[in-house]
Structure 1
C-alpha cells in the first residue's frame, strides 16, 4: 500500500467508501467502490447501503452492510459488483481487471455494436438523402430540358412569325421613315369624303395652244412641229388618295414623260419639264423606265410602250406622303416619299400627232400600293444616288 497515493476524502458521503469516512483517505480503489455503488443503483433502482436516514446509510457504509443483490444479477457480473463494493479496498478489483473482465468486454462489444448500428443507420440515412438528392437533381434536369425545349419552340414560333410579318411588309410596301415636314403652302378647300370614287375633270394648263390642244380627256400634239410641251393638270391635289391614269399614242421618235410637280411649278413652251429650276419641283418618269429628280437617274421601273396603261397614285393621307407608279396595272418597285403637300399631275409629249388620253382621274378609298419585291423608296427634295 506504500506505493499508492493517498488523498483526503471529498465528495458526497452516500458515494464515499468506508476508508474515506473512517480514515479520511482516498485511494484508486475508492473510485472503484463508488462506481460499483452507482452501477448497482442504476440496475436495482436503490442504493445498496441505503438506510432509513443519512446517518444510518453512512453507518452501513462504514460497517460494509449492504442489501443483498437481487437474483437476476448473477454470474461474473454479480461477483464483479460485490467485489467492487467490498469494505476491504485491497480485495476490490483494479480498473485494469475490470476492463479485462468478460462483462466489460461484452459491454464494450455491445457499445461497439451500437456504434456500428448507429453508423449503419447514419450511412443508410445519408444514402437515402443522397438518393433523394439525385432524384431531385434528375427531376430538375428533366424540367430544365423541358424548359429548354419550350424556349426553343417559342423561338421557332417567333422566328416563323417574324418571317411571316416580313413577307407581309414586303407585300404592303417598304417602311418609310418620316422626313422633315416642309412648310405648308396656302390651304385649299377640302373635298368632302365619299364612299365611292370621285372623278375629277382634268383641266390641262397648256403653255402654247399652237403646239398642243385638249379635247375632252385627250391632249393632242399638232401635226406641223415637234416642239416640246409639258401639260400640268388642275385640280391641285392636297388630300386623299388620288389615281391618275392614261396612255400615250403615236410616239415613234421622241421621248414621252409623265410625273408629278409641286403646285408652284410653271412649265414653259418648248422646254423640258425640268428646265428653269423645275428639276427641284418635279418627278419625271421617262419612257425608258428611268426616274429623275435631283441627282442620278434611277433605274428599276418598267420601260413604257405606246398604248399601254400608265398610272400614278399619290397618298396624301399618310405621313410621309407617297407617290407610286403603275405600268400595265402592275405596281412598280421604285417609288417616292415625302412628296409636297400640294401637287399636280403632268405629261410631256413632242412627236407630231402624238397624244395622251386620261382614262382615270379620281379619288379612291384605299391605296392600290401593296409593295413589291425589291422595292426602293427615294425621298423628294433629296439628292438621289444610284
Structure 2
C-alpha cells in the first residue's frame, strides 16, 4: 500500500476499519475471472453517505477489472470526508457540498505543494422527504410548511397548514417528530439550501452542513435518519432517495403542482443550473437552481462530488485516484449507479467536462 506521506497513520487506521467493505466488494465478484490490468495498490475514500450504495457497486465493478487494487470507501458523511481528505487521511473524498472558499484557501496534505483540490460531480440524486405517519400514505408539502416543520414551528400533524395542503388525508392529532442529520452532512446543506432559496421567510438561516435548529431528533448518517423514521411513530425526515426503501415519500410543490421525485426530474434541474463562479478551470462546481416552477423538475436535489487533488504529491495516489474516478464517471460507471442507487446519470455535456477534468489529474 502506498499513500501520501502526510496522514499515512490515519489512512492505515481507516483501512483497518474498512476491511469489511473491500471484502464484501471482492465477494460480489471482484475476485472472479481474469483481468489484464497491471494496476495495484489500496485506495481510501471517505465521505458522503448518499454515495454509499453507488460506491459499493462502483468498487465491485472496478475491482473486477483491477484485481490487484483494493478500494475502501467509508460513508462517514460529507464533512468528515472533506476533513479526512484535507488532512491526508483519504486519497479522495465524497461530498454533497462543494469545497468552501476557506477550504480552498488552505493546504491539502495529499496534494503537491502550491496546488489545489477540485470538485468533480459524479452522483446526482433526489432528496426524498420520507415519513411514517399513522393512517397516512400520501402527503403534500410546500417548502414553507416543510421549513416550519423542521425548524419546530409546526409541531402537530393536524396543523392547519398541513390540513390545507392535504384535504383528503386523515392527519392525526399527534406530535411531529422531525428527524435531521446529527453529523455534518451535505444532504443537510442541500436540504437547507432548497428551503432557504424557496421559503426564505420560514428558513432564514444560511445553508450549512450542520443542522441549524435544536428542534426534532438528530440521527447519524443517512442510515440513521432512515432507521429513526422507520422505527418511530408520526415521523418525518430527509434522505438520499436511494435509501428511502419502503417508506412513504412526500410530494413537494413545484409551481402549482405537487411533484414526486424521479431521477429524471432531478437531472433536469442539474442540466439547467449554471456553474459556480470563481473556481479553477477543472473545478466543476454547480450552483443548483432551486427556483424552478416547472413541474417536470424536482428542485430538492443533490449533486455529490468526488474531491481530488489537481496534482498529487504521490504518483501512485494519482494513478489510483485517476483510474477509479475515470471509471465511476464513465458511461459504464454511471449506469452502475443508476442500477444500484437509482441515481440520475450525468448528461453527455457534463460527463465530457468531468472526463476532461479527471484526465488533467497528475
TM over 0.5: no
Q: Which has the higher contact order (CA 8 A, sep 6+)?
A: 2
Higher helix share: 2
Scaled by the length of structure 2, what TM-score is found? Answer: 0.18
Scaled by the length of structure 1, what TM-score is found? Answer: 0.17
